[in-house]
Amino acid sequence: MDNFELICPAGTPAALRAAVDAGADAVYLGFRDETNARNFPGLNFTRQDVADAVDYAHARKVEVYVAINTYPQAGNLGPWQKAVDDAARLKVDAVILADPGLLAYAAKRHPDLRLHLSVQASAANVEAIRLYRDAFGVRRVVLPRVLTVPEIAKLNAEVDVETEVFVFGGLCPMAEGRCSLSSYATGLSPNKQGVCSPATHVRYEQRGGALASTLGGFTINVFGEGEQAGYPTLCKGRFVAGGAPAYLFEEPTSLNAMDLLPELKAAGVHALKIEGRQRGKAYIGAVVRAYREALDSFAAGRPVPHIDLQAMVEGGTQTTGAYTRAWR
């Protein structure tokens, strides 16, 4: 049986080496600017870093993908087009794009450059995926994290484009690329500036034994003493509704679909993606190593081992997310 491809994150050169050494088939990363959706302080790669990353990875038969997955701003296409040009010049194995205009530019200027469609494009139906394939030659689609496994299977049966799905890490429950919650609170957009809950607008306060997180001056959660904390994102905020505090969209939790490898294989999924370019190299090494072991066992027909990744997860809880969500 063909193994899944394991696609792993890297926010720094050290994290890239950790991912490669731990067993990644490909590592995805971004340039150090607003052209990618993890435009966080101190994170990401200079052009020289990418050149070095490509050398390191290719020497070990590992591919490098560059995410250029924010939407160019009107009248300022330059940084995004230059990012595509530089990625092609640096001989990366694929670029991960979301904006149709940028896809058109890449397809025309760099016909040999492999194009992947970012989760930020939120392509969740057959017609949309066919359009990206026919218009721009997209070879792989990263599916949004809102589909069930049966929906993914149905989709794969109808299109001949590779699909990649998230299996571990931070769980965005929204239609990605179209979410404006963080923009509303901060004036900065995950889709344009690459910053969901920008750190410049996040503050943490100790309130006795409790920890309060605020975004743009709005209190979005208060974690009680001993309660595990989560990221300061509005989609996982806890708000008072009907007189009681509750999570309205999603709880602080991490995706972990390791137990669904047989179902995802049967559904025709080609590649599995680990989230977390913003995480440290210790996380990346541990999670990639665990998934490598699980995938190799699965491919060899052995039972998938239970590997404890509890120490790494947001909010102290794990979920299979929309893949098995009963209410859908």
Partner 1 sequence: MREPMREPAVAPTAIDDDRARRFEASLSRAGLGLVPRLGERVSDALLARLLRVLAERHPRAFEALREMQDACVLIEPVDAPVALMMRVGPELSLHARPRGAVGTGAAAADAVIRGPYARLLDLLEGRIDGDALFFRRELTISGDTALILALRNTLDGEDEMDLMADAASIAGPLARALPVLRRNAGPVLDRVEAARRLLPPPLRRGIERIGARIEARLTGTVPGTNPGAGA
Residues that bind partner 1 (CB under 8 A): 2-3, 5, 11-15, 17-18, 21-25, 40-43, 60-62, 198-200, 202-206, 211, 223, 226-231, 252, 278-283, 285-286, 289, 292-293, 296, 311-316
- Report the residue number, 204 or 249, with the smaller CB distance to partner 1: 204
Smallest distance from the beta carbon of 211 to partner 1, in angstroms? 7
C-alpha distance from residue 145 to each of 25, 26, 175 (Å) = 21, 20, 8
229 residue type, one letter? A
Between residues 126 and 229, which has the closer beta carbon with respect to partner 1?
229
**Smallest separation, CB 157 to partner 1 (Å):** 24
Burial track 225-259 (b if 16+ CB lie within 10 A, e otherwise): eeeeebbbbbbbbbeeeeeeeebeebebbbbbbbe
Beta carbon nearer to partner 1, 17 or 133: 17
- Helices 126-136 and 149-158: crossing angle, nearest 10°? 40
Decide whether 121 or 295 has the Cβ nearer to partner 1: 295
- Give whichever of 177 and 198 is closer to partner 1, judged by the CB atom: 198
Phi, psi of 161 (to 5 degrees): -105, 140
The minimum distance between CB 202 and partner 1, in angstroms, equals 4
| Upper half-sphere CA count for residue 263 (Cβ side, 13 Å) | 14
Task: For the chain, give the longest Cα–Cα distance.
Answer: 59
Instruction: Say if CB 219 and CB 282 are below 8 A apart.
Output: no
Residue pair 290/226 in contact by the 8 Å Cβ criterion = no
CB of 236 to partner 1, least distance (A): 12
Burial string for 182-195 (b: 16+ CB within 10 Å, else e) reads bbebbebbbbbbbb
Nearer to partner 1, 114 or 154 (CB): 114
Query: Residue 195 Cβ, how far from partner 1 at the closest point, in Å?
Result: 10
Q: How far is the CB of 283 from partner 1 (least distance, A)?
A: 4
